[in-house]
Amino acid sequence: MKQLLLVFLGGGAGSALRFLISKSLNQATILPLGTLLVNVGGSLLIGFILGLGYRQQIMSTNTILLLATGFCGGFTTFSAFAYENQVFLKSGDFMSFGLYTVSSILLGLGAVFGGFYFSRLI
């Protein structure tokens, strides 16, 4: 039950922060910059957390659940990414669809690897 509560609390904090970032940035640009930022930032953070937790064994299982599963899980959003791409396709904006999809995937994967790398520097 304690672990479920940790995931719940972390997820709530991550979701609230994602809402604030997306609300302020998604309307300011043509591409959904807020969603891109939270997904790439969350990927970097989860790589760092899991690098510290599993590779460096600095964090407890409960801390990993709170931060990686809870916070990062609530902070990042695949569903918003998928919906935004559906909007691009429906409107015929194939350039934005391609740019957003490719940049999200490449930057997200790079960020996870970067997070693991940075965790080794500690």
- Cα distances (angstroms) measured from residue 66 to each of 26, 47, 102, 104, 112: 27, 14, 30, 25, 18
Q: Is 47 annotated as a binding residue?
A: no
pLDDT digits (tens, 9 = 90+) for 39-68: 999 999 999 999 999 877 899 999 999 999
Q: Is 73 annotated as a binding residue?
A: yes
- Cα distances (angstroms) measured from residue 83 to each of 15, 77, 88: 17, 10, 9
pTM: 0.93
Among 17, 118, 120, residue whose Cα is nearest residue 67: 17
The count of structural domains within the chain is: 1
Range of the domain at 104: 2-120
Say what angle helices 33-50 and 2-25 make with each other, to 10 degrees: 150
The low-confidence residues of the chain, meaning pLDDT below 70, are: none
